Amino acid sequence: MKTVAQRFLEYVKHPTTSDEYAASYPSTATQLEFAAFLAKECEEIGLQAVSVDAYGYVTATLPATAKQAPTIGFISHMDTSPDAKGDGITPCITENYDGGEIPLKGITITPEEFPFLKEYIGQTILTSDGTTLLGADDKAGIAEILSAMEYLAAHSEIPHGEIRIAFTPDEEIGKGVDFFDVKAFGADFAYTIDGGKIGELEYENFNAARAVIRIHGKSVHPGTAKDIMVNAALIGAEIAAALPAEETPAKTDGYDGFFHLCSFEGNVSSAVLTYIIRDFDENSFARRKKRIETIVAEKNKSYPDRISLEIRDEYYNMASQIAPHMEIVELAKQAMEDCGITPIIQPIRGGTDGARLSFMGLPCPNLFAGGHNFHGPYELIPVSSMEKAVEMIVLICELSTTLDFPKNL
């Protein structure tokens, strides 16, 4: 039987970066390759009804050992963020962490910059070598789910209902459940194992939209450009400057929303700005989208017919969908407490597959996977946090047989 750390260290060596510009689904072939690998893992630990469909969804079942218990789903995503290099990952292991700096290639992870490190003194911490992200988001979740399923499969004396698991592609680019069949999945409720530090329990998340602004300029020789040249890159800079400087990710937290300029590519002839728009409040979310529309409309008055805007919603705050089913939040909370974990109930400053699934009829709060500093080379995860996640998943399954759930859940 593999440890959760062994499983995780094996998984991160599979490159699975998603690509938001790809026309295929999943967006990268490497995710399909990893899906096939995970399906074999599921079979090896004794899961049933193992499947990889044409879209790359991996699903499997652990049969019930108790009657009249709910069917619970556990879900994690296979892809890693395109924000940082995700291939050629070389994991590094820092054992018995001493509370000091963790030197890697070209970077150093320091407790001065990341004070939470002091919480893990004496523990084993996993990182990349500093040249890539690590992939704990969300291969840690996958490793934790499968380790919990392997444990339950080997201990049939533990009572639990039917358990369904799913591993999804393309979550990082907002397409993780585009083709997910909730009815076929057959769970009464589910949890995504896709959160951060140990103890996180989340059932609120951002409303999210993506805005793409395209600018068509006019390029002529700069020596004879007076009253002729239209510099697309400069127009893009004007648009970026028109948005509030204090409402960016680096200057907001808690329930604050933001505008995030993800990319700005351009020259005199053309420019493309990509923004993500985030807010917890539905009305404020609508106002943010309207603000970008207004800015673009005003700029088009100065530069007629040179600017186009496309805004599409990506997901919504699942709080409204979880509210009628708070017993599933209480179940996770009790499992954490029984494992000696202090629940940290807070909003997700992001989104998960669970947000969209909740609106598709599958209530799906998000639970910790244990990592920190996702989407970049400073990413890390303590082994003890992964071990506690496994314990929590097992206990959720067991406790679900002792609690009363509404018949219409």
pLDDT digits (tens, 9 = 90+) for 1-40: 899 999 999 999 999 999 988 999 999 999 999 999 999 9
pLDDT band per the 50, 70, 90 thresholds, residue 68: confident
Which positions are annotated as active-site residues?
A: 79, 171
Work out the percent of the chain whose per-residue pLDDT is above 70: 99
Nearest to 128 by CA among 139, 140, 136: 136
- Whether 199 and 240 map to the same domain: the answer is no
Alpha-carbon distance 80 to 206, whole Å? Answer: 20
- Residues of the domain holding 267: 207-315
- Given a contact cutoff of 8 angstroms between Cβ atoms, the answer to whether 83 and 197 are in contact is no
- Whether 94 and 172 map to the same domain: the answer is yes
Model pLDDT, residue 42: 98
- Domain-terminating residue out of 315, 346, 363: 315
- The count of structural domains within the chain is 2
The DSSP string of 290-353 is HHHHHHHHHHHHHSTT-EEEEEEEEE--THHHHGGGHHHHHHHHHHHHHTT---EE--BSS--H
Model pLDDT, residue 406: 59
Sheet with 366-368, side-by-side order of all strands: 48-52, 58-62, 163-168, 72-77, 189-195, 366-368, 200-202, 344-345
- Whether 154 and 257 map to the same domain: the answer is no
**pLDDT digits over 130-179, tens only?**
999 999 999 999 999 999 999 999 999 999 999 999 999 999 988 999 99
- Whether 71 and 194 map to the same domain: the answer is yes
pTM: 0.88
pLDDT at 45 over 60: yes
Within-domain flag for 409? no
pLDDT at 408 over 80: no
- Whether 28 and 74 map to the same domain: the answer is yes
**pLDDT digits over 223-278, tens only?**
999 999 999 999 999 999 999 999 999 999 999 999 999 999 999 999 999 999 99
Alpha-carbon distance 250 to 239, whole Å? Answer: 19
**Structure tokens that stand for 144 in this block:** 């934790």
- Whether 171 and 223 map to the same domain: the answer is no
pLDDT at 405 over 70: no
Within-domain flag for 74? yes
- Given a contact cutoff of 8 angstroms between Cβ atoms, the answer to whether 60 and 42 are in contact is yes
Element (H, E) at 195: strand 189-195
As a whole number, mean pLDDT of residues 182-191 equals 97
- Whether 328 and 250 map to the same domain: the answer is no
- Whether 265 and 331 map to the same domain: the answer is no
Within-domain flag for 55? yes
Model pLDDT, residue 127: 98
**pLDDT digits over 320-354, tens only?**
999 999 999 999 999 999 999 999 999 988 878 89
- Whether 180 and 222 map to the same domain: the answer is no
Within-domain flag for 408? no
- Whether 106 and 161 map to the same domain: the answer is yes
315 CB-near residues (< 8 Å, 6+ apart): 174, 205, 206, 207, 208, 351, 355, 356, 359
Within-domain flag for 304? yes
pLDDT at 63 over 90: yes
The DSSP string of 90-135 is --EEE-S--SS-EE-SS-EE-TTT-GGGGGGTTS-EEE--SSS---
Within-domain flag for 253? yes
- Whether 269 and 322 map to the same domain: the answer is no
Rg over alpha carbons for the chain, rounded to the nearest Å, is 23
Q: What is the CATH number of the domain that holds 25?
A: 3.40.630.10
As a whole number, mean pLDDT of residues 366-375 equals 96
What are the beta bridge partners of residue 163?
62, 72
Q: What is the CATH number of the domain that holds 271?
A: 3.30.70.360
Asked if residue 26 has a cis previous peptide bond (ω within 30° of 0), the answer is: yes
Model pLDDT, residue 403: 74
- Whether 156 and 241 map to the same domain: the answer is no
As a whole number, mean pLDDT of residues 277-305 equals 97
Model pLDDT, residue 409: 56
- Domain-terminating residue out of 315, 330, 363: 315
Within-domain flag for 405? no
**pLDDT digits over 108-134, tens only?**
999 999 999 999 999 999 999 999 999
- Average pLDDT over the chain reads 96
Q: Write out the E strands in 242-302.
A: 258-266, 270-279
Within-domain flag for 407? no
- Domain-terminating residue out of 315, 332, 352: 315
